[in-house]
Each structure stands twice: as C-alpha cells, then as structure tokens.
Amino acid sequence: MLVLVAPGQGAQTPGFLTPWLDLPGVEDRLREWSAAIDLDLVHYGTKAGEEEIRDTAVAQPLLVASALISARQLFATADDFAAQVGAAAGHSVGELAAAALTGTVSDAAAMTLVRRRGQAMAEAAAVTETGMAALLGGDEAVVIPHLEQLGLTPANVNGAGQIVAAGTAEQIAALVENKPEGTRRVVPLKVAGAFHTHHMAPAVSALESATSQLSVADPHTRYVSNKDGQLVSSGQELVQRLVGQVANPVRWDLCMETFKELGVTALIEAAPGGTLTGLAKRALPGVRTLALKTPDDLDAARTLIAEAGSVVSAAGSAPAE
C-alpha cells in the first residue's frame, strides 16, 4: 500500500524549483498561480536567496506549489490518484497540498488559501520574536515536561526521536543552553515564528474567514490528519482541521502510526522531498521510501507506484485485514 506525503516549512532551499520548470506546462502553471495569488513563484523558486524564501508568506505557497507540481507528474487524474494511493497526508502546510491531491479543494483554491495562511502566520509571528528548534533524541516522557517547564510548546511531535519546540526567542535560547536529559542536539530552525502554538491564534481567525465560502468535497482518497493521526472522510471537517491546526501541535508521529495500521509498504514524498522520508526510514522499518527532489526522481517513483500502488478501498474506510 502506497502513501503519498507532502513536506512542510523548512524543506525549501534556494533554486529548488529550477529543474521542474523544464517539464512541459510547469512554468505556465506556476505563472498562472503566481498571477492569482500576487506572488512570483517562478522568481522565488529559482532565483531568490535563502532569507527571501524563509519568509513565511513566501515559503508556504512555494512548498504547496512544488508538492502539487511534482505529484501531478505521477498522477494525471483524480482517478489515477485514488486507484494507486492508499492514503495521503502533509506535514503542517503540506496538509493543504494533500487536501488538493485528494480532491477536497481545487489546486487553485489550495494556492489561494496557502497564500492567505502564509500571510496570516507571518503577521502573527511579527507580534513577538518567536522561533522553533528541533530536539534530536531523548525520551518523549522526559522532553515534553522539560519544554513545558521552559514555557515552550512541543509544536511538532514527529516521531523517530524528533520533537520540535516553539516559543519566544528567549525560551528557545534557554532550551539551547539547557537541553533535556538524553537529547543529543538542539537545532534552531530557519523559520520565522512559533508555528502551531498559541502565538498563531490570530491566523486561525484569518483562515476561518478565508474558508467561509470555500467549495469543498469529501476526499476521494484516505486523508490522515496532523491533529491526531486520524482518517478524515468529511471535506468540511478536513478544512476545519486545517484552520485549527495552525495554532495546535502537529502529531506526525500519530500519522505514521496510522500509516502502519493501514499496512503501508511504500511512501513517496512530494517535492522538495527528504525530511519526511528521513523520518519514515527510522519510524517505519521495511517500508520503501522515495523523495522527489528533482524530475530525475520521477522514473523511480513511477516504478515504485507500479510495484506498490493498487486499487484501494473508498476514502475513510477501514483498512483490509
């Protein structure tokens, strides 16, 4: 059973979209989305520097656009996707790409929504100097109480020995100086705010307004939610979860537990892939993984799909025994 996942913020690197523009129709599609959301995706994905694409309002649309562009090379139609992908999920902003790929919202709507999401989260982040840091290693039962003592939120519980803390700059600095027992390293992340915490509450209100008139369908493929790793079969509930998720922790560990329960045998990560496949290699032993980094990876992905993809049960139904 094949799972397709889409990465979250921090996966972007300067020029990462450049090779994708060589594929037929890709540049035209990116320019179409750019005009619709008033953001030059081609420029930011090919020529912009690290600081420019670190901007939340830029990074988030870039990541969703990249995930959609790369995944659409593998699955030309919704029927193809539904027939060959057993479940889909995205990490943080990647959930919007997964929502589009499973037919809950259109690609155009996902791009419009991610543009507003990025702007709203950037605005919320500007109120207080905040940030995030990844903790590598350590026991969750030790790490999480330690973070709470410092006033930090375990914003991403990613599994495979990785938790991402979020809070004020002072709290992150205190964590670097005083890491939890058993933690190998604390790595400050190149993001511009304390995402998935109470600091993002203003962005929730902005997204509630942005989604109030959104055209929504139930997903045609099983969708695994960051909130609790549960399958979501209602399009309306899925969108409500997307809105609330910006101010609540990402439970990628629970998503991977659900992949296990569904019987995952292969996982493909949409571009710019790498982060989620790395977690899967540690948390899902025996599962074949492939990260889409450039179009050179597409042939290997097609081979993996042919070997692991199959007709699956309806979205939201229980996995076969």
* Residues with active-site annotation: 92, 196
Would you tell me how many other CB atoms lie within 10 Å of the CB of residue 318?
Answer: 10
16: closest CA among 57, 56, 70? 70
Instruction: Find out whether 216 and 243 touch, Cβ atoms under 8 Å.
Output: no
Three-state DSSP class for residue 191: coil
Sorted by sequence, the CB contacts under 8 Å of residue 155 that are 6+ apart come out as 132, 164, 165, 166, 194, 195, 196, 197, 249, 250
* Distance, CA of 288 to CA of 203 (rounded, Å): 37
* Residue type for position 14: P
Closest CA to 290 of 78, 70, 83, 24: 70
Q: How far is CA 230 from CA 89, 238, 251, 254, 301, in A?
A: 11, 11, 10, 8, 26
Q: How far apart are CA 84 and CA 311, in angstroms?
A: 6
**Backbone dihedral angles phi then psi of residue 249, each to the nearest 5 degrees:** -60, 145
Give me the phi and psi of 119, to 5 degrees please.
Answer: -65, -45
Q: In what order do the strands lie in the sheet with 222-224?
A: 231-232, 222-224, 87-90, 2-6, 266-269, 288-291
